[in-house]
A and B are shown apart, each in its own frame.
Chain A
Amino acid sequence: ERRASSLQHKSLLSCVTGQRQTLRQETWSLSPEEFEIWDRLYRIKEGDGVKDPVLPRVRFETLENVEGVPEREEGTAQELSLSEWRIWQNRPFPTAMVSHSDRCYHFIGVMEMIDVMRQQQGACSYQLEMERHLHMEDVNIARGRRHLSRQKGS
């Protein structure tokens, strides 16, 4: 993770330091001047009062996880949340150069739908709508039969 973030910083630094040093940019790592700038301006240090930002790891609740255990100690890192601001996510956010993908619009659409359903108590309009269109030949009945009576009854 450190490596990845320093790579990102490198590209930022190239912008900051400008063309002057492009000839020296043959090496993979930062030059001493770039390192000095990174260390002074961007590097998160202990006294800064901010925690290292980290992205949440992939974890599957229903599968055996082979990803490995995250080695970070609790409290030293700020895990970036993808759900903290969910009430903002029912509309497309502004874009700069990259437009929203279909996948992103699907996400926004579902967030909108969840917002609408949040007001509902008990009966579910989606369920009522779907029941009208269900053809039993489309579904795997053997799997679901056990639950059918219960679902219809509730």
Chain B
Amino acid sequence: LFQRLKAAVHYTVGCLCQEVAEERNVQFSKQTIAAISEITFRQCDTFAKDLEMFARHAKRSTVTTEDVKLLARRSSSLLNYITQKSEELAASNIEQKEKKKKKSFAAKGRRTEEQDIAVSESEDSNMA
């Protein structure tokens, strides 16, 4: 399973690097992409443990966007960016909720959604 996850990260990092390469007119060696992938994969380990601790610190067992924001606390640029994204997300969540008022969200669905955000944000910050 580890290898499968790593492979997915590697593939995604490759795509993101390709975008950057085209934008900035530079090239990444395959080894560079491999290194960024490995860093991202390992950073997810750090993020996951931190998020769990942040949630537990607030006596919660569910990771929320507030915990994710704490991951970005070291840079105000990054924190601004994450906060803005989280507000956009919250706004679209409310929109969706109003649309499907009868179908209430299962808590489980919400949780996986937030975990997805954490992963994609972690990739973003590693790209930086």
Contacts and interface: CB of A to CB of B under 8 A. Distances in A.
B34 A124 contact: yes
Nearest to A143: B15
A58 B74 CA distance: 8
B25 to A, nearest CB: 15
Main secondary structure of the interface of A (DSSP, over half): helix
A133 B80 contact: no
Contact of A117 (B35, B39, B124): B35
Interface of A: 58, 60-67, 102-103, 106, 109-110, 113-114, 117-118, 120, 122-124, 126-127, 129-135, 138-140, 143-144, 147, 150-151
Contacts of A117: 31, 34-35
Specify which of B12, B31, B127 lies most central, judged by the most chain A CB atoms within 10 Å of its CB: B31
Interface of B: 3-8, 10-12, 14-15, 18-19, 29-31, 33-35, 37-39, 42-43, 45-46, 49, 74-78, 80-81, 124, 127-128
Contact of B42 (A110, A120, A124): A110
A90 B121 CA distance: 27
A24 B12 CA distance: 60
Contacts of B45: 102, 106
A28 B78 CA distance: 33
A139 B76 contact: no
B15 A134 contact: no
B43 A106 contact: yes
B128 A60 contact: yes
Given A124-B34, A138-B8, 19 more contacts: A60-B75, A106-B42, A106-B43, A106-B45, A109-B42, A110-B38, A113-B38, A114-B35, A117-B34, A122-B30, A126-B30, A127-B10, A127-B30, A127-B33, A127-B34, A138-B11, A143-B12, A144-B14, A147-B15
